[in-house]
Amino acid sequence: MKRIAVFTSGGDAPGMNAAIRAVVRDGVAHGLEVIGVRGGYQGMIEGDFVPLGPRDVANTLQRGGTILLTARSKDFMTPEGRATAAEHLKRAGIEGVVAIGGNGTYAGAARLIAEHQIPVVGAPGTIDNDLFGTDYTIGFDTAVNTALDAIDRIRDTAASHSRVFFIEVMGRHAGFIALEVGIAGGAEVIVLPEDPISAQGCAGVIVGSAAKGKKSSIVVVAEGGYEGGAVALANDVQQSSGIEGKVTILGHIQRGGSPTAKDRVLASRLGAACVEALMSGASGVAIGEVNDEIRLTPFREAIEKRKDINRKKYELARVLAL
């Protein structure tokens, strides 16, 4: 193998640049040429390629977002689009690809392998932490810390005004962010897709907290934890109990910002491991870290198997909210 490509796809995540940097520098250290694909799968279809050397990725470790840009490509969802992408890769002499992204990125890579026999390995770049085969995904730790900083600030206001705040964090299908920031931020209620709660149940916890002498409450809501999100939950709680709450939706602020040390180290390790995997002949696998060891998981398993939240942490959150 002499030439490989690297690209980012789907939603951006802090630490993607650290992964790109690791792919480039580890690749060059092994005598490989590394090509960057700009704009995800759409850039692959358009042939938007750029050579990357060690100096091209200098001073990127601390930057959020992705220097290679990202996009969601409808064209790549078609056989014709994938054929065009494969043709551009082959014409450029690319013998292996590192895909950095989430479920959709892995699914696209699996189709590229099946239809055009191009070796692809993946690194888990998504703040949701919902990919099977790795304890943590690139960007998750930063997103948690970003959300926690906001919750700490909101708690100051909640305590000053004796109010209830409903704070919505990202997580349409998985509650990992909500659980972590809920524990770290001392939330009275954590609402997760994995364990839905009714408005009446939520109101009961808030009323119980007030009865114990609490003057304010924080309710952390994963965006997929309640139909309609935090806004709908706050409205339903008020209608069922008369409790008025303020709503804050953190939204895409969780995706940006400089990655934490943990995300930089994880991304660097997984990026380098992707190069090693390609050079050893691996393809169709996601590179993850489980119990501090590198693990290779087939794309199908990484996509289809569900990674559950830590139930012991969830019980701990309830105990600590007393």
Q: Which residues are catalytic?
A: 128
211 Cβ contact list (under 8 Å, min separation 6): none
Separation between Cα atoms, residue 123 and residue 278, nearest integer Å: 12
Are 169 and 147 within 8 A, CB to CB? yes
Continuous H helices in 162-289 = 176-184, 199-211, 229-241, 261-279
Separation between Cα atoms, residue 63 and residue 256, nearest integer Å: 9
Spatial CA neighbour of 131 closest among 263, 314, 316, 297: 297
Spatial CA neighbour of 167 closest among 228, 245, 236: 245
Phi-psi region of 179 (alpha: psi -120 to 50; beta: other; left: phi over 0): alpha
Spatial CA neighbour of 206 closest among 244, 180, 247, 151: 244
153 Cβ contact list (under 8 Å, min separation 6): none
